[in-house]
């Protein structure tokens, strides 16, 4: 559901997924909305009253997360089929898969410059991938628990992981070591979000609290109580003045920060200057300065806004149901060419910064509240019989895609079993040699 608070609060409900929606994210320009679901599909929506969407089918298990690159050209999806898949948004096509995890992949995120992808899995590892050569270039493992969520800091030099073992860990990618380790929650941590300045980190936990960490000083500074159950997600606004949180109590809370605006804006400007694709590594970034271990009780400010904020929840909120219609289905076998001048995709789906010059002006003039009707049958340029034949071919391609993915999965399992057999054989040989 999309919420519009101007001029009056109302919600727009987009119906299409056949199971629980696990992740949503807007593109950098806000003209696209990606959603992941347990129905094994990813959908790309136009956030207007048309309800038009494009469906991506390639995963063979529920999809856990979606993430756009900073330029909006790529989309990364993480799934319980142990893979990360990368999609091209301009051509609306599948690009490649990343296979190294041995258990469900919970999250995958692009670095701010788009060069790297970080992923976390229930195999208790966090992997760093190079998007150029499509290889795993680094691996962080933890024996205590697995990470539920992982993300880059604004300048791309560090990553923060939300652990199922109640911890929050910050890793430095330049020296490949753990910088900070926080033990401030009493239950698993579900999500983290960096302030745009990079100096603070907010965490959401199943213990029902939010924590704000000062990364420069390496300490807990705020404990926020407002939810009456587990908190599943939290995120800062683009400028860092606000952040929102959502939990199992069916509430979305909007919070205002009290950070020094002038200082934060200066830091944000410095970080934005670094987000160039040809820029050198950020070796001059020296924060966080030293590792900090938090094992004891800390003195913090506790905030409970239950009696201080206005409840905007109503018994019957106005909801507008959007008539969604299927635009296209993309699988990992599809190969699409850039759309021509007259194609509808050019007007709706493509990021304006990626479009040909003849397409961009038309898209920029589009209003988000477009209420024109769905094209009628008489307006179709392709005969209905041809359309049915193409749909049948697409269904067959979907079946073929799923078959290939299942074979890849079985091959991975076979490789794992062979490795286990070889390890057991080596152990037996070494034991026999010791006895002899």
Provide the token pair at 92. Answer: 């609306």
User: For the chain, percent helix, then strand, then coil, each to nearest 5?
Assistant: 20, 35, 45
Phi, psi of 74 (to 5 degrees): -125, 155
- Within a 10 A sphere around the Cβ of 343, how many other Cβ atoms? 14
Task: Give the pLDDT confidence of 246-265 residue by residue, as tens digits.
Answer: 999 988 898 998 875 545 55
Provide the token pair at 117. Answer: 């992808």
User: Given this model, what pLDDT does residue 404 score?
Assistant: 84
- The answer for residues whose C-beta is within 8 angstroms of residue 76's C-beta and 6 or more apart is 66, 67, 69, 84, 85, 86, 87, 108, 109, 110, 117
Tokens 């991975």 -> residue:
412
Say how far apart CA 397 and CA 93 lie, in whole Å: 14
Say how far apart CA 46 and CA 54 lie, in whole Å: 9
Which residues of the chain are modeled with pLDDT < 70? 5, 7, 260-317, 320-321, 323-385, 388
User: Given this model, what pLDDT does residue 268 score?
Assistant: 55
Q: CA 325 → CA 30, 51, 328, distances in Å?
A: 20, 6, 9
User: Given this model, what pLDDT does residue 329 score?
Assistant: 60
Q: Exposure of 310 by Cβ count < 10 A (0-12 exposed, 13-18 middle, 19+ buried)? A: exposed
Q: CA 8 → CA 3, 11, 319, 322, 326, distances in Å?
A: 10, 10, 12, 18, 29
Distance of alpha carbon 38 from the chain centroid: 15
Say how far apart CA 94 and CA 326 lie, in whole Å: 18
Query: What pairs with residue 303 in β-bridges?
Result: 224
pTM: 0.68
Beta strand extents in 80-229 (DSSP E only): 83-88, 93-99, 105-110, 116-121, 125-130, 135-141, 147-152, 158-163, 168-172, 177-182, 189-194, 200-205, 209-214, 219-225
Task: Give the pLDDT confidence of 45-99 residue by residue, as tens digits.
Answer: 888 777 778 889 999 999 999 999 999 999 999 999 999 999 999 888 899 999 9
Three-state DSSP at 283 gives coil
Provide the token pair at 61. Answer: 């298990």
Say how far apart CA 300 and CA 293 lie, in whole Å: 16
Three-state DSSP at 408 gives helix
User: Given this model, what pLDDT does residue 370 score?
Assistant: 40
Say how far apart CA 167 and CA 187 lie, in whole Å: 9
Q: Buried (b) or exposed (e) across 208-217, using 16+ Cβ within 10 A? A: bbbbbbebee
Q: Look at the alpha carbons of 337, 339, 344, 346 in this order and tell me if their dihedral is positive or negative.
A: positive
β-pair type (325-331, 52-57): parallel
User: Ramachandran region of residue 401, left (φ > 0), alpha (ψ -120 to 50) or beta?
Assistant: alpha
Long-range contacts at 17-26 (CB < 8 A, ≥ 24 apart): 17/41, 17/43, 19/62, 22/62, 22/63, 22/64, 22/65, 23/63, 23/64, 23/65, 23/66, 24/66, 25/66, 25/67, 25/68, 26/68
User: Ramachandran region of residue 309, left (φ > 0), alpha (ψ -120 to 50) or beta?
Assistant: beta
User: Given this model, what pLDDT does residue 280 score?
Assistant: 39
> How wide is the angle at C-alpha 217 spanned by C-alphas 214 and 220, nearest 5°?
45
User: Given this model, what pLDDT does residue 94 score?
Assistant: 92
């Amino acid at each position: 559901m999309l919420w519009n608070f101007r001029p009056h609060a109302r919600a727009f409900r987009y119906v299409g997924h056949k199971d629980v929606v696990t992740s949503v994210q807007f593109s950098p320009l806000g003209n696209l909305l990606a959603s992941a679901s347990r129905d094994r599909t990813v959908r790309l929506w136009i956030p207007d009253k048309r309800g038009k969407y494009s469906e991506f089918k390639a995963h063979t298990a529920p999809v856990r997360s979606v993430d756009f690159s900073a330029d909006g050209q790529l989309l990364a999806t993480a799934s319980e089929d142990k893979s990360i898949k990368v999609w091209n948004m301009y051509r609306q096509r599948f690009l490649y898969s990343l296979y190294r995890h041995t258990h469900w992949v919970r999250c995958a995120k692009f670095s701010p410059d788009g060069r790297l992808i970080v992923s976390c899995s229930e195999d208790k590892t966090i992997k760093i991938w190079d998007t150029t050569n499509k290889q795993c270039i680094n691996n962080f493992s933890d024996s205590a628990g697995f990470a539920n969520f992982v993300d880059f800091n604004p300048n791309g030099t560090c990553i923060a992981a939300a652990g199922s073992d109640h911890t929050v860990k910050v890793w430095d990618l330049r020296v490949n070591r753990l910088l900070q380790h926080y033990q401030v929650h009493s239950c698993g941590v579900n999500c983290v979000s960096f302030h745009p300045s990079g100096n603070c980190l907010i965490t959401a936990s199943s213990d029902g609290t939010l924590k704000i960490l000062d990364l420069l000083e390496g300490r807990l500074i705020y404990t926020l109580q407002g939810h009456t159950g587990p908190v599943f997600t939290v995120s800062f606004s683009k400028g860092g003045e606000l952040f929102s949180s959502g939990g199992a109590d069916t509430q979305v809370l909007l919070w205002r920060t009290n950070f020094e605006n002038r200082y934060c804006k200066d830091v944000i400007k410095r970080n934005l200057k670094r987000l160039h694709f040809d820029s050198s590594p950020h070796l001059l970034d020296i924060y966080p300065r030293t590792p900090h271990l938090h094992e004891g009780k800390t003195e913090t400010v506790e905030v409970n806004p239950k009696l201080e904020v206005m409840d905007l929840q109503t018994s019957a909120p106005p909801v507008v149901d959007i008539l969604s219609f299927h635009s296209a289905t993309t699988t990992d076998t599809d190969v699409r060419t850039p759309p021509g001048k007259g194609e509808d995709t050019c007007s709706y789906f493509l990021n304006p910064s990626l479009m040909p010059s003849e397409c961009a002006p038309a898209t920029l003039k589009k209003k988000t509240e477009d209420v024109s009707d769905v094209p009628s049958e008489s307006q179709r340029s392709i005969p209905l019989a041809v359309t049915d034949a193409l749909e049948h071919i697409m269904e067959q391609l979907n079946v073929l895609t799923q078959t290939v993915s299942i074979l890849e999965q079985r091959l991975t399992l076979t490789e794992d079993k062979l490795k286990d057999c070889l390890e057991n054989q080596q152990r037996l040989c070494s034991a026999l040699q010791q006895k002899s």
